[in-house]
């Protein structure tokens, strides 16, 4: 099948285009809408609880057995654990190719195997959940009430709404913050217990015996059966008050005689606020691949029904809706796409100055873009910022093939040929050129499509979208364009208007100027070749010195503030300081509202940590972008609140790695020698804090929490009939918020917690008031078998890969790139005296950046190599592909210089722009060299004359295609609307590369064509033209 058949069969060609449009529209309507392509990090989080247990014990008795068992699972990329008081969380991140469901089964089997090695008093086995650290919550809801207790608010929020939201299609999980789940607290007075001769261990046993829920069997007679049911449960504080603990001197001793029994909450050291109001917060995460906007719309649909079921005194409000910024960002990209299309059509009209001629290549634009939607849908892609940005960039070059086809047919038409013959002859003549341009441009992205790791996952959809658009463009230009030209191009000799004649004279003058300058360059080949070599060297130098980053920051309308109180700070003190921080943040004119949680910040769940979630005003109502607001808030909160540090953060576009820290970049140290580990981490943290390029420098090393050390005199305890377990159980019952029993209801279960009265939990002297019952029946004071010392212990214990670890987190100062930070840390590591036994590594985004910098240079070389191979196959030549690729160094120089001028780092998006330039820039050379080769074969012209004639004949289509690509990319480079800061580096790269390469390749390519031809055939130089 040739191009001619499409010209001769216009109905078939038209219907083929209709089919492309039809399937494209269907594909567009079926595609999900999201912020970024689905990048799933197969991650499992395992949580184990043992209330009251210190972090060191949690690490050794819980984390280590679990980690040992998990380490046998195949496909683990990293494993971290954080052990704090009463809780251990192990995060296992698998390779990107690992199936998350299969991984979850392996982890569950490992938990089952490890259970027998865990503490026997761990009532609840470790639980797992599948998480995706790359997906942040898309929807925040908060509930509160001015009159109802928070436990009742939690009952509606966690017990009903969270469960209802979990059933919505596309919802992965619902996290609840500030939960105040109902519990009964028995707060004992140690003096009252001692006066009645009752040990706290006896109280714990009495609770278990008083609250019973077990099967009691059934009666079975000859004809009927009946269940036996006892009401053995106590379901409220009032029910416990009069329950008998023991008898003393014949009189009952009840729980109410020994202290207070109150309706309370399960965790009274955790709380959340929105503004000044105590709230319960629900954060909804979507399933990978689901449509964010559809998920949010489905959630919003069920909220009115649920709200109508709430008591009148209970309020439900939406705090944050990620779909709003996604809708705005997608709309802005779509607007940019339309604007780029209009600019490209305008460029075509300026050059052709004919509405009919402009219409022909302009039709290729919507058909190619709409047809691309069909391919995107077939591959399961989504409408997201990257895929739409790919389409926007495609606008600039999908019309190139149609322009080249049109220009060649018009040239034959103006030579006096009839329309039909001109179309067939011109199409056949240029068909190979178009195939070369299309295939070689698509080949640029072949290496990108097969990349692995996070970079490959992010760019796969982007690259394949562009390839589909390129192939669609080639198809349209070889079918529809010549068919329309055969029927719509007017006669060659016709009367033109004044504006046409003036513009033609202007273009002729421009072309004449180019001809004269080209003559000079061909006469001074050495100087021109020197410019080429200079651009080649300059591109390498610029690539080395330009600041580098991984992903540009974005503005999603939400900021995070991680707070950290002094070691040992109480919950009450943290709440007071956190409210001060909230007030400072709320005073910023661009802040809409602030949500606060105390008792959870970053990867920690300690009392002295907290989190601020800052909701910004809509972008149209703000005076600053997210990064500027972060800098402003950082200055406003720095050293303003004694006893509280605030670390502001604009969350990254995608979070890489399973851990969350107070700053976005992490550097981890590991060592079995704790002294070397802690000392090295402290010195490195101090060194980074002094460096001007780093900010928010902190670490997760909490090794100085005030500790009361209870040492058991084992020999004395044995003499008195007291076991170590009794002593530890007594301490846990008094100070560990020990869950001694469970109350079961039809819809949920609630805990019974035993502890001392709050005033006895403030001082170590309360330990002297505790007694336990010995095996001899005597009441033994703990002071008789223990000794109390004061000291310090870690507040959290962290492991990475089963080794003790400390993570240093940091942010970057203005103008300081991630590449510079990585290089600086490598130098400071030596100066800080890190021990040889200490292993060091970057984590998360910094680790991904470090890996990408090693791979992206190779990727660029591979893209050039693939294009060279494709061009060599097409031209059956080793030399011509080198000539075609001669414009790449100048394009790289233009791109990198533009980034330096605008102070934009070379991020992943900008690097994609450089790869795109590899495909775009070579089109100019292909158009020249194809024509020159044809002139050599058909007209027997010498290479010098052939390439000079080719440069002039192809000058107009070269200018048209370059200007079209430039106008198509310019709206992205200017950067406006939501998400513009993330897209801008790509646009700047392409625009800068196009401008400089256009100026230089028009001269460098002809000169290299001649020089390489001479080198190949060893011909002497010949004059080009008289």
Q: How confident is the model at residue 721 (pLDDT cuts 50, 70, 90)?
A: very high
β-strands 271-274, 259-265 pairing: unpaired
Average the pLDDT over 574-589 and give the result: 93
């090794």: which residue's tokens?
A: 703
DSSP structure string for 617-640: PPGGG-SS-HHHHHHHHHHHHTTT
**Chain-wide mean pLDDT for the chain?**
86
Average the pLDDT over 618-646 and give the result: 89
| Cα separation, 95 vs 98, whole angstroms | 5
596 shares its domain with 511: no
In a domain, 698, yes or no: no
Does pLDDT of 648 surpass 80? yes
Does pLDDT of 601 surpass 70? no
In a domain, 552, yes or no: no
Give the H or E element holding residue 1011.
helix 980-1017
Average the pLDDT over 332-359 and give the result: 80
Whether the Cβ atoms of residue 465 and residue 391 lie closer than 8 Å to each other: yes
Does pLDDT of 807 surpass 80? yes
Q: How many CB atoms lie within 10 A of CB 312?
A: 7
609 shares its domain with 528: no
* pLDDT at residue number 605: 66
Average the pLDDT over 979-986 and give the result: 77
In a domain, 632, yes or no: yes
Q: Which residues pair with 186 in a beta bridge?
A: 261, 754
93 shares its domain with 238: no
């590991």: which residue's tokens?
A: 670
Q: How confident is the model at residue 1023 (pLDDT cuts 50, 70, 90)?
A: very low
Highest mean pLDDT among 299-313, 391-405, 873-887: 299-313
Tokens of 183: 């519990």
Instruction: Assign 3-class secondary structure to 643-654.
Output: CEEEEEECCCCC
Domain end marker among 770, 793, 816 = 793
Q: How confident is the model at residue 232 (pLDDT cuts 50, 70, 90)?
A: confident
Does pLDDT of 676 surpass 50? yes
194 shares its domain with 101: no
Domain end marker among 117, 132, 147 = 132
Average the pLDDT over 747-754 and give the result: 90
Average the pLDDT over 520-545 and give the result: 90
CA distances from 37 to 384, 455, 458, 981 (A): 7, 12, 6, 18
Q: Is residue 510 classed as helix, strand or coil in its secondary structure?
A: helix
* pLDDT at residue number 874: 82
Q: Which residues of 931-953 are buried (b: 16+ CB within 10 A; e: fewer)?
A: bbbbbbeeeebbbbbbbbbbbbb
DSSP structure string for 422-456: HHHHHHHHHHHHHHHHHHHHHHTTHHHHT--HHHH
Does pLDDT of 841 surpass 80? yes
Q: Kindly calculate the radius of gyration of the chain based on its CA atoms and give it in whole angstroms.
A: 36
Q: How confident is the model at residue 499 (pLDDT cuts 50, 70, 90)?
A: low
The CATH number of the domain holding residue 203 is 3.30.2090.10
* pLDDT at residue number 1025: 38
The CATH number of the domain holding residue 358 is 1.20.1640.10
Q: How confident is the model at residue 500 (pLDDT cuts 50, 70, 90)?
A: low
Does pLDDT of 600 surpass 90? no
In a domain, 687, yes or no: no
Does pLDDT of 534 surpass 90? yes
442 shares its domain with 521: no
* pLDDT at residue number 490: 67
Share of the chain above pLDDT 90, in %: 28
* pLDDT at residue number 662: 78
Q: How confident is the model at residue 1001 (pLDDT cuts 50, 70, 90)?
A: confident
> What are the residues whose beta carbons fall under 8 Å from the beta carbon of 222, sequence distance 6 or more?
none
* pLDDT at residue number 604: 57
Does pLDDT of 666 surpass 90? no
69 shares its domain with 23: no
DSSP state at residue 60 = I
Tokens of 636: 């406003």
376 shares its domain with 516: no
Q: How confident is the model at residue 16 (pLDDT cuts 50, 70, 90)?
A: very high
DSSP state at residue 781 = E
Alpha helices in 444-497 (DSSP H): 446-449, 453-488
In a domain, 313, yes or no: no
| Domains identified in the chain, total number | 5
| Cα separation, 563 vs 550, whole angstroms | 26
Q: How confident is the model at residue 1026 (pLDDT cuts 50, 70, 90)?
A: very low
Does pLDDT of 40 surpass 80? no
Domain end marker among 744, 775, 793 = 793
* pLDDT at residue number 188: 94
598 shares its domain with 480: no
In a domain, 826, yes or no: no
Does pLDDT of 612 surpass 60? yes
Average the pLDDT over 277-289 and give the result: 87
DSSP structure string for 373-390: HHHHHHTT--B-HHHHHH
* pLDDT at residue number 813: 84
* pLDDT at residue number 198: 93
Comparing CA positions, the residue from 725, 722, 779, 777 lying closest to residue 190 is: 779
CA distances from 53 to 85, 119, 622, 653, 796 (A): 6, 11, 47, 37, 12
Counting Cα atoms < 13 Å in the Cβ hemisphere of 852 gives: 27
* pLDDT at residue number 658: 52
* Ranges 37-46, 91-100, 137-146: which has the least confidence: 37-46
Does pLDDT of 251 surpass 90? yes
In a domain, 300, yes or no: no
Does pLDDT of 1019 surpass 50? no
Q: How confident is the model at residue 577 (pLDDT cuts 50, 70, 90)?
A: very high
Average the pLDDT over 149-164 and give the result: 91
Average the pLDDT over 764-771 and give the result: 85
Instruction: Please give the residue that has the higher pLDDT: either 929 or 856.
Output: 929
885 shares its domain with 1021: yes
Tokens of 453: 């790791």
Range of the domain at 594: 557-563+583-650
Q: Is residue 945 classed as helix, strand or coil in its secondary structure?
A: helix
The CATH number of the domain holding residue 104 is 3.30.70.1430
Whether the Cβ atoms of residue 374 and residue 19 lie closer than 8 Å to each other: no
509 shares its domain with 591: no
Whether the Cβ atoms of residue 539 and residue 531 lie closer than 8 Å to each other: no
| Cα separation, 990 vs 365, whole angstroms | 19
Does pLDDT of 300 surpass 60? yes
123 shares its domain with 19: no
In a domain, 347, yes or no: no
Highest mean pLDDT among 352-366, 377-391, 632-646, 839-853: 632-646
Does pLDDT of 287 surpass 60? yes
Q: 820-825: long-range contacts (C-beta < 8 A, 24 or more apart)?
A: 820/547, 820/548, 820/693, 821/665, 821/693, 821/694, 821/846, 822/846, 822/849, 822/850, 822/853, 824/691, 824/693, 824/694, 825/667, 825/688
* pLDDT at residue number 998: 83
Does pLDDT of 89 surpass 70? yes
| Cα separation, 563 vs 660, whole angstroms | 13
* pLDDT at residue number 1022: 44
Model confidence over 890-937: pLDDT tens digits? Answer: 999 999 999 999 888 888 888 888 888 888 888 788 888 888 888 888
* pLDDT at residue number 982: 74
Q: At what angle do helices 626-637 and 571-586 cross, to 10 degrees?
A: 130
Tokens of 91: 């995060």
398 shares its domain with 464: yes
């Amino acid at each position: 099948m040739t191009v001619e058949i499409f010209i001769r069969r216009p109905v078939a060609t038209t219907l083929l285009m209709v089919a492309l449009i039809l399937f494209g529209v269907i594909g567009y309507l079926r595609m999900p809408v999201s912020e970024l392509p689905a990048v799933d990090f197969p991650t499992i989080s395992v949580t184990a609880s043992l209330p009251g247990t210190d972090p060191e014990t949690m690490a050794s008795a819980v984390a280590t057995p679990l980690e040992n068992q998990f380490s046998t699972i195949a496909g683990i990329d990293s494993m971290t654990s954080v052990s704090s008081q009463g809780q251990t969380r192990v995060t296992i991140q698998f390779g990107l190719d690992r199936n998350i469901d299969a991984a979850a089964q392996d982890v569950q089997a490992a938990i089952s195997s490890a259970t027998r090695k865990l503490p026997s008093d761990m009532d609840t086995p470790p639980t797992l959940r599948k998480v995706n650290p790359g997906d942040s919550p898309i929807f925040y809801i908060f509930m509160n009430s001015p009159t109802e207790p928070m436990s009742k608010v939690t009952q509606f929020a966690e017990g009903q709404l969270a469960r209802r939201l979990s059933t919505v299609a596309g919802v992965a999980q619902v996290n609840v913050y500030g939960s105040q789940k109902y519990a009964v607290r028995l707060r004992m007075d140690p003096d009252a217990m001692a006066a009645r001769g009752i040990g706290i261990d006896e109280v714990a046993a009495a609770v278990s015996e008083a609250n019973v829920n077990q099967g009691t069997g059934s009666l079975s007679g000859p004809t009927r059966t009946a269940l036996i049911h006892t009401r053995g449960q106590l379901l409220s504080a009032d029910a416990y008050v009069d329950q008998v603990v023991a008898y003393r001197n014949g009189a009952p001793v009840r729980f109410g005689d020994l202290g207070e029994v109150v309706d309370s909450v399960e965790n009274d050291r955790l709380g959340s606020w929105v503004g000044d109001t105590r709230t319960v917060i629900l954060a909804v995460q979507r399933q990978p691949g689901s449509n964010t906007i559809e998920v949010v719309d489905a959630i919003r649909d069920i909220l009115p029904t649920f709200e109508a079921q709430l008591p009148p005194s209970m309020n439900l409000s939406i705090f944050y809706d990620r779909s709003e910024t996604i809708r705005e960002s997608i709309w802005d990209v779509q607007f940019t796409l339309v604007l780029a299309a209009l600019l490209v059509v305008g460029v075509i009209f300026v050059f052709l100055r004919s509405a009919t001629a402009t219409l022909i290549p302009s039709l290729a634009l919507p058909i190619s873009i709409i047809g691309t939607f069909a391919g995107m849908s077939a591959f399961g892609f989504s409408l997201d910022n990257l895929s739409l940005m790919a389409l926007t960039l495609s606008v600039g070059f999908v019309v190139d093939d149609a322009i080249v086809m049109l220009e060649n047919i018009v040239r034959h038409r103006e030579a006096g040929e009839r329309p039909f013959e001109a179309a067939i002859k011109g199409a056949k003549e240029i068909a190979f050129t178009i195939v070369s341009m299309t295939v070689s441009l698509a080949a640029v992205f072949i290496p990108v499509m097969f990349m692995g790791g996070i970079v490959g996952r992010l760019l796969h959809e982007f690259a394949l979208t562009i390839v589909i658009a390129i192939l669609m463009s080639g198809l349209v230009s070889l079918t529809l364009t010549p068919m329309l030209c055969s029927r719509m191009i007017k006669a060659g000799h016709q009367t033109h208007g004044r504006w046409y004649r003036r513009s033609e004279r202007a273009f002729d003058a421009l072309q004449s100027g180019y001809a004269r300058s080209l003559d000079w360059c061909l006469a001074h080949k050495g100087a021109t070749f020197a410019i080429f070599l200079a651009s080649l060297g300059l591109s390498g130098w610029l690539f080395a010195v330009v600041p580098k980053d991984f992903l540009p920051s974005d503005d999603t309308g939400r900021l995070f503030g991680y707070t950290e109180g002094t070691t040992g700070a109480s919950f009450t003190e943290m709440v007071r300081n956190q409210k001060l921080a909230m007030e400072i943040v709320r005073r910023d004119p661009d802040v809409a509202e602030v949500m606060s949680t105390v008792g959870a910040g970053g990867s920690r769940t300690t009392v002295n940590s907290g989190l601020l979630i800052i909701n910004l005003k809509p972008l149209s109502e703000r005076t600053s972008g997210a990064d500027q607001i972060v800098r402003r808030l950082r200055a406003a909160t720095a050293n303003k609140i004694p006893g509280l540090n605030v670390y502001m953060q604009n969350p990254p576009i995608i979070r890489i790695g399973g851990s969350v820290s107070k700053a976005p970049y992490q550097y981890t140290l590991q060592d079995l020698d704790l002294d070397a580990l802690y000392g090295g981490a402290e010195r490195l943290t101090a060194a980074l804090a002094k460096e001007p390029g780093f900010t928010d420098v902190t670490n997760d090393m909490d090794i100085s929490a005030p500790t009361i050390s209870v040492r058991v005199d084992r020999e004395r305890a044995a003499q008195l009939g007291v076991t170590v377990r009794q002593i530890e159980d007594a301490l846990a019952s008094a100070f560990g918020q020990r869950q001694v029993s469970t109350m079961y209801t039809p819809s949920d279960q609630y805990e019974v917690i035993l502890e001392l009265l709050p005033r006895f939990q403030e001082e170590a002297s309360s330990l002297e008031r505790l007694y336990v019952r010995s095996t001899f029946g005597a009441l033994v004071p703990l002071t008789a078998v223990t000794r109390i010392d004061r000291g310090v212990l870690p507040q959290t214990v962290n492991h990475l890969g089963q080794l003790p670890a400390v993570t240093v987190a940091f942010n970057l100062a203005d103008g300081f790139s991630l590449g510079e930070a990585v290089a600086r840390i490598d130098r400071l590591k030596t100066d800080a005296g890190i021990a040889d036994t200490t292993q060091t590594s970057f984590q998360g985004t910094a680790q991904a950046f470090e890996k990408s910098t090693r791979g992206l240079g190779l990727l660029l070389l591979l893209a050039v190599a693939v294009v060279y191979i494709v061009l060599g196959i097409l031209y059956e030549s080793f030399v011509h592909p080198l000539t075609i690729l001669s414009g790449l160094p100048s394009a790289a120089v233009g791109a990198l210089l533009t980034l330096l001028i605008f102070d934009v780092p070379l991020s992943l998006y900008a690097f994609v722009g450089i790869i795109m330039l590899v495909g775009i820039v070579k089109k100019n050379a292909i158009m020249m060299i194809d024509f020159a080769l044809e002139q050599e074969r058909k007209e027997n012209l010498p290479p010098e004359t052939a390439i000079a004639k080719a440069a002039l004949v192809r000058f107009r289509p070269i200018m048209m295609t370059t200007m079209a690509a430039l106008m198509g990319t310019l709206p992205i480079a200017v950067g406006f609307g939501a998400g513009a800061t993330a897209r801008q580096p790509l646009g700047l790269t392409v625009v800068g590369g196009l401008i400089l390469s256009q100026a230089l390749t028009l001269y460098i390519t002809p000169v290299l064509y001649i020089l390489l031809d001479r080198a190949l055939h060893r011909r002497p130089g010949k004059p080009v033209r008289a």
